[in-house]
Amino acid sequence: MADLTRPYDVLVIGGGNAALCAAVTAREAGASVLLLESAPKAFRGGNSRHTRNFRGMHQAPTKVLTGSYLEDEYWDDLHRVTGGITDEPLARMTIRVSAEMTPWMEACGVRFQPALSGTLSLSRTNAFFLGGGKALLNAYYATAERLGVDILYDAEVTNLLLDDGFVRAAEFNHRGFPARATARCVVAAAGGFQANLDWMRQYWGDAVDNFVIRGTPYAKGRVLKTLLDQGVAPVGDPTQFHAVALDARSPQFDGGISTRLDSVPFSVVLNREGKRFYDEGEDVWPKRYAIWGRLIAQQPGQIAYSICDAKAFSLFMPSVYPAMKADTLGELAHKLGIDAGQVEQVVADYNRAVQPGRFDSTGLDACRTEGLDPPKTHWARRIDEPPFYGYPLRPGITFTYLGVKVNENARVLMADGKPSANLFASGEIMAGNILGRGYLAGFGMTIGTVFGRIAGREAARTARN
C-alpha cells in the first residue's frame, strides 16, 4: 500500500508506457517507487493502451523483427518525416538504445507477435505487441506490482512545487480528495495535452469542438502546464498536433485505432460545400494518412466526406461504423447531408477527367485524372458502379507536440539551460525534443520506452546517492 507520509525515492507521474518503463526500471535498481495515474484502473494506460507496435533498430533478424534496420536508415526515416525538426544526437541515441529494448520488454512479460505473421506490412521495422498496447500495459502493471511499485489510480497531479528547478512535492487529487506526495526524484511521464480542449482552443478556436481525440481523455497536460509555468524550457510547436482522418461518428475520446478510415485513396473526398480540396491519390496511404487529419481540420466545419463505388469498396480495411450506402449519388449525398446536385456535378467532372490506365491497389499505379484541380494522381477510376458508399470524416487528434526540454539523461532542462536537480521526463511529454513534426509509426513507443528506461535509471541513481 502506498504510504504518503514518507518520501519515496522516485515518484513517477503518469500511467502509460513511458511511466511504467520508468517505474519498473527504478524499482529494479532498488529505489522505492510511487506511481500516480490520473485514470481509474479500468482506463489506465493513457494513449499507450491504444498502440500496437514499437520501432526497433536491429542488425539481423530477431524473433520479432525481420531483416535488418540499421541506425542510418532509421535516422534517415526520422529526418525525412520531421523535416529536420529533431535533435540529431538525442535521436541517434534513442535509435541505438531501441536495439536493446525488446529482450527487456519480454522479461517484463510483454509478448510480441512472431515476425512475418498476420497481415503486417511493417514487420521489418516494427515489432507488434500480441494483443496490442493494453496487453503490453497489463504486463508492465503486473511486473510493477510484483516488484513492489506502489500504484495509485484516480490520482491526478495538479501541481509540482518547484524551487529553482528542484521538485519539493507533488500535489494531487486522489479520488477527488487533495493529497500530497514527496520524493527524492520525480519522473514526469504524463503524456501530451491533446485531451484538454480548452488549451487547444487557444490555438484553434471553436474548431476544437469538431475534433475527435483518438486516445485517452486523461491527457490534459496539467503536469506539462505546471512545469512550463515554473520555468522549465519548452520544446515543440504548441499549436501543432498529429491528426488522421477518422469516421465522424467516432466517440469524442478513446475510439482508438479502429475509427480510422482507409477509404481516401480509393475515393473522392469532398468538403461540406461539396468541393474536392486535395489529391486523394498523392501517395500510398501509410505515407499519407497522417496529413488528412490536418487537411480536414482546415475545411469549413472540420468535416469531409469520402465517396466511392462498389468496385472500390472492398479495397480498404472494413470500417468500425457501417458505410452509408445508396443506389444513386444523389441519394448518398442526401444521407451524408450534403448538396446532391453538387455531388453529382463533382463526380461527373471527376469521371470525365479519369484517364485509362493500369490499376493496382497495392502500389502507385497509372490511374490518374487529367485537367482536374486538384488532380487525383493515382487510383483514379470512374465512380459509376452502384451501390455507392460514403463516410463522413473528421480530424482525429493523436497527440500534441509541445513538451519539456530534456538532455540525454532524460533530465529536464530549465529555460536558462540548467538541468533540474531531481526532475526527469519521458514519453509524449518530451517527445517533441526528437519528433518536432510528422510521425514515424511505432516511434512514440520507442521514445517512451527508451526515455522511460533512462529516466527510471537516472532517477533511482540520483535518489540513492
Residues that bind ligand FAD (CB under 6 A): 13-19, 36-39, 45-48, 50-53, 156-157, 189-191, 214-216, 218-220, 222-223, 256-257, 398-399, 427-428, 442-445, 448
Please state whether the peptide bond connecting residue 286 to the residue before it is cis, i.e. omega within 30 degrees of 0. Answer: no
* C-alpha separations of 163 from 92, 305, 447 in Å: 32, 52, 28
Helix (H, G, I), strand (E, B) or coil at 308: strand
Q: Which residues contact 202 (CB under 8 A, 6 or more apart)?
A: none
CB of 53 to another protein, least distance (A): 10
Alpha carbons 320 and 206: distance in angstroms, whole number? 27
β-strand partners of 272: none
CB of 342 to ligand FAD, least distance (A): 33
On whether the CB atoms of residues 414 and 261 are closer than 8 A, the answer is no
Given another protein, ligand FAD, none, residue 317, with its beta carbon under 5 to 8 Å by kind, binds another protein
Given another protein, ligand FAD, none, residue 304, with its beta carbon under 5 to 8 Å by kind, binds none
Per-residue burial over 190-216, b = 16 or more CB atoms within 10 Å of its CB, e = otherwise: bbbbbbbbebbeeebeebbebbbbbbb
Closer residue to ligand FAD in complex, CB, 253/359: 253
Closer residue to ligand FAD in complex, CB, 280/428: 428
Alpha carbons 92 and 127: distance in angstroms, whole number? 19
Closer residue to another protein in complex, CB, 70/142: 142
Structural Rg of the chain based on CA atoms: 23
Angle between helices 71-82 and 88-98 (to 10 degrees): 130
CB of 337 to ligand FAD, least distance (A): 27
Pairing of strands 33-36, 150-152: parallel
- The helix or strand, by DSSP H or E, that contains position 297, with its residue range, turns out to be helix 285-297
Given another protein, ligand FAD, none, residue 274, with its beta carbon under 5 to 8 Å by kind, binds none
Closer residue to another protein in complex, CB, 317/366: 317
Given another protein, ligand FAD, none, residue 442, with its beta carbon under 5 to 8 Å by kind, binds ligand FAD
Closer residue to ligand FAD in complex, CB, 38/306: 38
Closer residue to ligand FAD in complex, CB, 218/350: 218
CB of 251 to another protein, least distance (A): 6
* 10: its cell numbers: 522516485
CB of 256 to another protein, least distance (A): 5
Closer residue to another protein in complex, CB, 59/117: 117
CB of 224 to another protein, least distance (A): 24
Closer residue to ligand FAD in complex, CB, 179/353: 179
On whether the CB atoms of residues 410 and 457 are closer than 8 A, the answer is no
Given another protein, ligand FAD, none, residue 119, with its beta carbon under 5 to 8 Å by kind, binds another protein
β-strand partners of 172: 157, 179
Given another protein, ligand FAD, none, residue 92, with its beta carbon under 5 to 8 Å by kind, binds none
Contact residues: another protein, CB under 8 A: 42-43, 49-50, 52, 111, 113-114, 117-119, 128-135, 138, 142, 251, 254, 256-259, 314, 317-320, 322
* 280: its cell numbers: 486523394
* 324: its cell numbers: 452509408
Alpha carbons 418 and 415: distance in angstroms, whole number? 7
Given ligand FAD, another protein, none, residue 190, with its beta carbon under 5 to 8 Å by kind, binds ligand FAD
% helix, strand, coil for the chain, step of 5:
35, 25, 40
CB of 158 to ligand FAD, least distance (A): 7
Q: Which residues contact 3 (CB under 8 A, 6 or more apart)?
A: 150
* 255: its cell numbers: 475510439
Closer residue to ligand FAD in complex, CB, 98/422: 98
Given another protein, ligand FAD, none, residue 47, with its beta carbon under 5 to 8 Å by kind, binds ligand FAD
Given ligand FAD, another protein, none, residue 438, with its beta carbon under 5 to 8 Å by kind, binds none
